Structure 1
């Protein structure tokens, strides 16, 4: 037998079933009703046997069989009602008729069948009541008692309606109430499943937000540290080469190394300060609290980092640092800057140029480099291209994790831009990016 949600009790344990009964008290109730009905039918069977001229034991057995039918009222309500209608002429089973009509109206039997059977029961009860009332009136008639012609039909109608209408109406009410409760229970179960699904989805979104935040922090750390440290390594190599030959230049390179280190520490301190000082964002909805906190915190941290990050105005200083490290760099700017640039656009453009110059220091030491920046009406474009590497220049031995180009592409595509990179025909390498100028100012 298949166990459904209806077969479980409030504690979540599977409820025990007793044949067609769901609960033990239902068994007790139906057995008690069947015993009372059987006793009633036995008494009425004895009276019927005396009236019909049949043996009394036969009337007792017939009454027991008819009364015990009430035991299956939940399983076969239509059959019980038909039995009650069939024994109505014998004036038996009044309790069985009332209970069976109630059970039929409260069950899931189609309403048209309920109406037909209730009408049959009303008709049978009306006929029997009419005949019995007329006989009683005729037996009691004397000179002082002469009822009107409408008395017998009216009393028959009142008695038959009193035996049929209340159980049917009460059964319809109980059935509608039961269906309403089942509907509410199903809706509650559905809402519980939806809330569980939303909680799982919120946890996934929160985990996604945390992953995105870790990726963003790692990208920022890479951009800040890689460029500064690369320049420091280049300057330290030059310092070793000229320390004995040109002390004045060695002092200058040492000062540049110190400046680079201080700038790297300053940028790291600013970025970590933004992450530490970010106020936690409280969720405004209880539906997805984890997702709201995770996404809002990531957005707030990104916006704060963008507001404090570098801008295109600092691009000249960035190129100057590479020149001080011995790289030949040409910077060209076309067009007028657009005031609608958001901080994320300017920071992304700066980081693309910075990472491209860092890659030239790592992989093309001594190569000539061209940095081009173009301000257009609806976008800003940047390109960093280097020539072939100078074979006579010593390699600084800078490590490479292979994430520079991936990080640049992620930055640009996240803002809806286009990123292209690849080798040139002249043996160099080119990095190009185009960013939309209309990106919102706030992260």
Structure 2
């Protein structure tokens, strides 16, 4: 798990302004060395300034202690080092202060200004010090070497810590940027994974609904006809044996057809994902499995040999054999459509006839199919059912999903679906589906 700057700030474990105890101990150690250095150099300063030695030592110790706050106030540390440069003390504080200042997040113009002030102050002090050493005989360098030595010493005391601080600061900012980028990428990947899981779950739910709708359309119609024929068979078994035999044969045909369609559908569901081995499937992430399963299920209707409009007459003939009076009217030029359009139109008519068997057994039904320029329209309307009919004794159950499934099919193709009772007491189902 990567961390950002905010995470680092939240994970502070050190005292006061230090992020960690390790950095606090480092700064305390540097400040202690700086105090010792400035205290020792304060002896010479007190002698040159004509003040008590103890005052010089105390002054140097207090000035050197400023290094303790270098991380919190680097500007103050550099200003203190510049201020005590004429006293020829605080060299360690100046070096560490310049490094801390350059590595900080302060604007470059401030860093450059303070670094320039520190260099100029150091240059003046070194020039005076080298010249005094020549006058006292401590050094026998020529006059030309005085400015050269002062410049070299000043550059040596200011340039390396400044450049090192700039490098460390740039590297620190780069690492922070990379850390934030990695954290952002991790959050994006997590969000994408969550969205992929949501899409997979949505796809699974959609395909469950679609499969349930297809199963309902395949089974409900034929089973309804089987129940109607079985009820008729029970009614005429003793009075008309020949008709009973005929109805029994129809029941058997309907059952075989229903079983055949169920086998085809289940076969597509079993082999649609194209994966045979369990080892390969175990290596696939959960979201990918969900998406693949949903994609496989979505091919149930497309890959199987679904019904088409040319089979409407056979469908109506089956309802007529069950005792329903059905007439079919076709308008416009008959033509073929895409497979999903023909299947949807067929299923709408099929489910509407199934509903007539369930709720208005024996009612006369009118099926109208209109081929238009850019759309195909269908309507199934039944008249009020008779008071008493043989099929009414079948007491067919209703799950309440037929109309919902029809509407879902039509709307998915961009069509319009309307259903409701008629003024005459019957029921009407209408659908219009775009031809492309």
TM-score by length of 1: 0.90
SS at match of 2:136: helix
1:302 to 293, 298, 303: 298
Distance 1:281 1:297 in 2: 10
How far apart, in 2, do the equivalents of 1:4 and 1:164 lie? 33
Aligned to 1:147, which of 142, 148, 168?
142
- Mapping of 1:121-160 within 5 angstroms? 121-140=118-137, 147-148=142-143, 150-160=144-154
SS in 2 for 1:175: helix
**Partner of residue 391, structure 1:** 387
Find the aligned partners of 2:66 and 2:207 in 1 and give their Cα distance: 72
TM-superposed deviation, 1:247:
0.9
The separation in 1 between residues aligned to 2:427 and 2:345, in whole angstroms, is 18
Equivalence for 2:223: 229
Contact kept? 2:127, 2:147, Cα under 8 Å? yes
| TM-score (norm. length: structure 2) | 0.92
Matches within 5 A, 1:194-233: 194-233=188-227
Counterpart-to-counterpart distance in 1, 2:49 and 2:347: 109
Aligned runs of 1:248-259 on 2, under 5 Å? Answer: 248-259=242-253
Q: Name structure 1 gaps, 5 residues minimum.
A: 9-13, 283-287, 439-443
1:11 aligned residue: none
SS of 1:140's partner is coil
Q: Once the 2 structures are TM-superposed, how far is the Cα of residue 15 of structure 1 from its aligned partner?
A: 4.7
* Alpha carbons of structure 1 residues 146 and 96: separation in structure 2 relative to 1, 3 Å: closer
Q: How far apart in 1 are the matches of 2:338 and 2:184?
A: 45
Task: Please say if 1:106 is aligned against 2:108.
Answer: no
Q: Secondary structure at the match of 1:174?
A: helix
Residue of structure 2 in register with 1:5 after alignment: 7
For 1:399 and 1:347, locate their aligned partners in 2 and report how far apart those are by CA, in whole Å.
25
The range that moved more, 294-303 or 119-128, is: 294-303
Task: Note closer, same or farther for the CA distance 1:436–1:387 as it changes in structure 2 (3 Å cut).
Answer: same
User: CA shift at 1:154, angstroms?
Assistant: 2.6
What is the match of residue 20 of structure 1? 17
- Which one of 53, 57, 60 corresponds to residue 57 of structure 2? 60
Q: How does 1:10-409 map to 2 (within 5 A)?
A: 14-140=11-137, 147-148=142-143, 150-280=144-274, 290-308=286-304, 309-339=306-336, 341-394=337-390, 395=392, 396-409=394-407
Mapped partners of 2:376, 2:413: distance in 1: 12
SS of the residue aligned with 2:432? strand
Output the CA distance in 2 between the equivalents of 1:337 and 1:120.
95
Q: Give the superposition deviation at 1:296.
A: 4.3
In the alignment, the residues of structure 2 paired with residue 205 and residue 289 of structure 1 have an alpha-carbon distance, to the nearest angstrom, of: 14
Q: Distance in 2 between matches of 1:34 and 1:295?
A: 63
8 A contact 1:338–1:377 mirrored in 2: no
SS of aligned partner of 2:239: coil
2:141 & 2:402 partners in 1: Cα distance?
115
Deviation at 1:277, TM superposition (A): 1.4
Counterpart-to-counterpart distance in 2, 1:217 and 1:139 = 105
Deviation at 1:116, TM superposition (A): 1.5
- 1:385 match: secondary structure: strand
Q: Distance in 2 between matches of 1:106 and 1:188?
A: 23
Q: Which runs of 5+ in 2 are unaligned?
A: 277-283
Is the CA contact (8 Å cut-off) linking 1:274 and 1:305 kept in structure 2?
A: no
